Amino acid sequence: MSRIAYVNGRYLPLAHACVNVEDRGYQFSDGVYEVCEVRDSLLIDERRHMARLAFSLSELRIAMPMPAAALSVVFHEVVRRNRVRWGIVYLQISRGVSRRDHPFPPAGTAPSIVVTARNMDFAAAEKMAENGVAVISVPENRWARVDIKSVSLLPNVLAKQAAREQGAREAWFVDASGHVTEGSSSNAWIVTRDGKVVTRQADHGILKGITRTVVIEAIAAQGLTLEERAFTIDEAYAAREAFITSASQIVLPVVKINERPVGNGAPGLIASALRRDFHRFAETS
């Protein structure tokens, strides 16, 4: 079965789904994206992802190409046409097509929109969570507005590749003061020796993950103590547990940071419980 993509109003087989060479997403990475988990063919936390999309678009002064209700119909249709049961739906909106020139294109230039979806290997993901993953650290070298979910991901790509080349799943960005900001495609968390769950405050220096927001609700419901503050890489080495969160990975225990075992070197109880309970706190649509 050929995968189907939605491109500017049409559902097309992936091989025929093309964007213009003068699309500003392609020329300048002048665009934003969203990724939603699909579980049992339902979208997880669509409402929150839409709200963050509206924020990213407004920060970059790109118009929403269609009403949120219409976009929701497209999301569900792309999931249905690709028979996605467990996987992700991906949305990208760029500032549209215009002769290559840095300033914004003429008023009225339509934003471009692409939606794709794909199945993921559920069993492999569960296995990874059971074993836990390794992370490495890399110097923070991104721009100062990573709270905008922009498609400009070059530092994230290089960081992820460095992780993979060192046998790790994720790379954590560490700023000049030694504090972990977040992962290349996930938020970073630790559990301190005295059981406090710590993740960096959601300022301009991290993407405010939707999974992060839902996990914070789960933490409150479980009566755990949350600290939203920056933590250092040294604190992470000394932590009892560590984990990462993202829509495509939910909660993934971290068992090694720069080759040093975290806690007893096995997935932590809190991370595993948060992964297990996550969908009780998430919305489905």
Query: Which residues of this protein are in contact with ligand PLP, per CB under 6 A?
Result: 35, 156, 182, 185-187, 207, 209-212, 245-247
Q: How far is the CB of 21 from ligand PLP (least distance, A)?
A: 26
Nearer to ligand PLP, 56 or 211 (CB): 211
Q: How far is the CB of 182 from ligand PLP (least distance, A)?
A: 5
Contact 156, 187 (CB under 8 A): no
Q: How far is the CB of 58 from ligand PLP (least distance, A)?
A: 17
Quick one: which of 188, 177, 170, 190 has its CA closest to 139?
A: 177
Residues 228, 236: Cα–Cα separation, whole Å: 15
Nearer to ligand PLP, 45 or 96 (CB): 45
Residues 40, 29: Cα–Cα separation, whole Å: 32
- Unique residue bearing structure tokens 């991104």: 142
- Which H or E run includes 59? helix 46-59
- Which H or E run includes 69? helix 68-81
Nearer to ligand PLP, 82 or 211 (CB): 211
Q: How far is the CB of 33 from ligand PLP (least distance, A)?
A: 9
Residue 149 appears among annotated catalytic residues: yes
Nearer to ligand PLP, 137 or 246 (CB): 246
Contact 90, 116 (CB under 8 A): yes
Tell me which residues are annotated as active site.
149
